[in-house]
Amino acid sequence: MYPRPIPEDARIQRALYLGGVALVVILWLLPLLAVMLTSIRSNEELMAGNYWGWPQKFSLIENYKAVFEQTAMLRFFLNSLLITIPSVIGVLILSTLTGFVLSRYPFRGSNLIFALFVGGNFLPAQIMMIPVRDLMVRLGLYDTVYALIIFHIAFQTGFATLFMRNFIAALPGELFQAARAEGASPFQTLRHVVVPLVRPALAALAILTFTFVWNDYFWAIVLTQSDAVKPVTAGLNNLRGEWTSAWNIVSAATIFVALPPVVMFFMMQKHFVAGLTMGAVKG
């Protein structure tokens, strides 16, 4: 361990340390806390200039109710789910397949294909924007959730393939030889050996992909136009333009958008961190 652990019996030192770190956390999250505080403040207070003081009156319910009733955020939220869930499922399926093949069936060119997946995953979205947009227009998918689903599956498959390939490559090779010697076909090996063994990797990948897709803003504005298909991120930005002075409503909507990934993160934190750091650390 580095730095040296604070000893168990140094109670005071431990308490001071915890308090100090907690203070740093508060400073670190201060911008977010401010928005949270504003989201439960009433409009009158904001008008009166009370941005930072303790709220005289809590308008949590009113503000969030306003978000649901007077804005299209609920619709956007639903759209986001309609886009994100199929995307995550598609990515998990495709990357399990590609990762399995690239880790367990060496062939000439497999390393090149793998490098393309990894390299392509780092390209900025803007580089492929024009052709992708054009492609979706020609397919008649522009301004539908399918355009976003297809794009997200394609793009996330790059990272997800890297992830699954490394995970499966780290499983003991003799398990796969045994399956083959026992007469299992590649499909049976996939179903009875790979899928049960990669469950933890799939969990990590699911939360990561969910976060990436849910948080996407760029493709949302490039591939959609109408409120009927727009996801929350694009919706939130529009909302900000429309409700310029109602900071409490904008704040409530912001928290509402941030909630799903944050909740997912806290529920599956271990998987999230493991997924993100995979490959970054030896061993």
Residues 141-200 that bind other proteins (CB under 8 A): 150-151, 153-155, 157-158, 161, 172, 174-175, 177-188, 190, 192-193, 196-197
Scan residues 226-265 and list those touching other proteins (CB under 8 A).
232-234, 236-237, 240, 247, 250-251, 254, 257-258, 261-262, 264-265
Is residue 258 a contact partner of residue 215, using CB atoms and an 8 Å limit?
Answer: no
Residue 61 Cβ vs other proteins, minimum distance, rounded to whole Å: 22
Residue 125 Cβ vs other proteins, minimum distance, rounded to whole Å: 7
From 44, 48, 53, 134, residue interacting with other proteins (rule: CB under 8 A): 134
Cα separations in angstroms, 224 against 32, 65, 228? 28, 26, 9
From 12, 16, 30, 148, residue interacting with other proteins (rule: CB under 8 A): 30
**DSSP string covering the chain:** --SPPPPTT-HHHHHHHHHHHHHHHHHHTHHHHHHHHHTTS-HHHHHTT-SSSPPSS--HHHHHHHHHHHSSHHHHHHHHHHHHHHHHHHHHHHHHHHHHHHHHS--TTHHHHHHHHHHHTTS-HHHHHHHHHHHHHHTT-TTSHHHHHHHHHHHHHHHHHHHHHHHHHTS-HHHHHHHHHTT--HHHHIIIIIHHHTHHHHHHHHHHHHHHHHH--HHHHHH--STTT--HHHHHHHHHHHTTT-HHHHHHHHHHHHHHHHHHHHHTHHHHHHHHHTTTS--
Residue 161 Cβ vs other proteins, minimum distance, rounded to whole Å: 6
From 74, 82, 113, 203, residue interacting with other proteins (rule: CB under 8 A): 113
From 44, 48, 51, 53, residue interacting with other proteins (rule: CB under 8 A): 51
The residue type of 134 is D
Is residue 61 a contact partner of residue 243, using CB atoms and an 8 Å limit?
Answer: no
Residue 67 Cβ vs other proteins, minimum distance, rounded to whole Å: 13
Regarding 34 and contact with other proteins (CB under 8 A), the answer is yes
Regarding 56 and contact with other proteins (CB under 8 A), the answer is no
Q: Which range, of 54-62, 67-75, 81-89, 92-100, touches other proteins by CB under 8 A?
A: 92-100
Residue 143 Cβ vs other proteins, minimum distance, rounded to whole Å: 14
**């997924």: which residue's tokens?**
275
Scan residues 72-91 and list those touching other proteins (CB under 8 A).
none
Is residue 232 a contact partner of residue 79, using CB atoms and an 8 Å limit?
Answer: yes
Residue 77 Cβ vs other proteins, minimum distance, rounded to whole Å: 13
From 130, 170, 228, 267, residue interacting with other proteins (rule: CB under 8 A): 130
Residue 141 Cβ vs other proteins, minimum distance, rounded to whole Å: 12
Regarding 16 and contact with other proteins (CB under 8 A), the answer is no
Residue 196 Cβ vs other proteins, minimum distance, rounded to whole Å: 4
**């299992």: which residue's tokens?**
184
From 60, 144, 203, 217, residue interacting with other proteins (rule: CB under 8 A): 217
From 69, 131, 138, 226, residue interacting with other proteins (rule: CB under 8 A): 131
From 16, 48, 78, 127, residue interacting with other proteins (rule: CB under 8 A): 127
